[in-house]
A and B are shown apart, each in its own frame.
Chain A
Amino acid sequence: SQKIEQNSEALNIQEGKTATLTCNYTNYSPAYLQWYRQDPGRGPVFLLLIRENEKEKRKERLKVTFDTTLKQSLFHITASQPADSATYLCALAESSASKIIFGSGTRLSIRP
């Protein structure tokens, strides 16, 4: 069956360090993968999208990699700040016109 797993239900790291979150999937052939941030009591907010033919994408302190052979995406936040504390969700879509399916999410806490 199809499955999207995000390793580590919760991740606690020191401010200034790089946070690395993992998203693994099985039985999918995604055209692209997205990462979202969700704060308590709010809807997810889109962060980055990476296509199947892209290996890496960056946006300010964020970096996403996408390995379709390993069926894995890594999401990095460099120079992390307490304001980066939130739940981060990966999501897959099998085409540009299809629904997106979410992973289980990783709760990230950055301590001062």
Chain B
Amino acid sequence: SAVISQKPSRDICQRGTSLTIQCQVDSQVTMMFWYRQQPGQSLTLIATANQGSEATYESGFVIDKFPISRPNLTFSTLTVSNMSPEDSSIYLCSATGTEYGYTFGSGTRLTVV
């Protein structure tokens, strides 16, 4: 199955600033996704990163706040824009597999102060 490198692993950011999270997959994958995980809770899907077209966002998430890029089949970025303390969370990217399920990055722990 694919291996995903996600960075940064953690960051502390000032409110009002933006952070871009990167995910690099070691093989071409059809679909990539971005999730958010609040402390002690399950994963919430933010959006599907589509190669060559705009991302597909889930209810409650908008492009202006979480712009996503997917320039090729191995790379994607998620930007958390104009951050507030409510954006403090763990952000995870994932990529599709078949019999091997979905592979996840190790996550980015974001703290907004």
Contacts and interface: CB of A to CB of B under 8 A. Distances in A.
Given A43-B92, A46-B1, A89 B102 contact: no
| Residue among B41, B42, B92, B102 with the highest chain A CB neighbour number at 10 A | B42
Interface residues of A, number: 22
Interface residues of B, number: 27
Contacts of A48: 101
Contacts, number: 53
A99 B48 contact: yes
A43 B107 contact: yes
B16 interface: no
Dominant secondary structure of chain B at its interface with chain A: loop
13 contacts: A34-B101, A41-B107, A43-B94, A43-B104, A43-B107, A44-B43, A44-B104, A46-B102, A46-B103, A97-B96, A100-B33, A102-B43, A105-B41
Interface pairs A-B: 7 shortest CB-CB: A46-B101, A43-B104, A102-B43, A105-B42, A102-B42, A104-B42, A44-B104
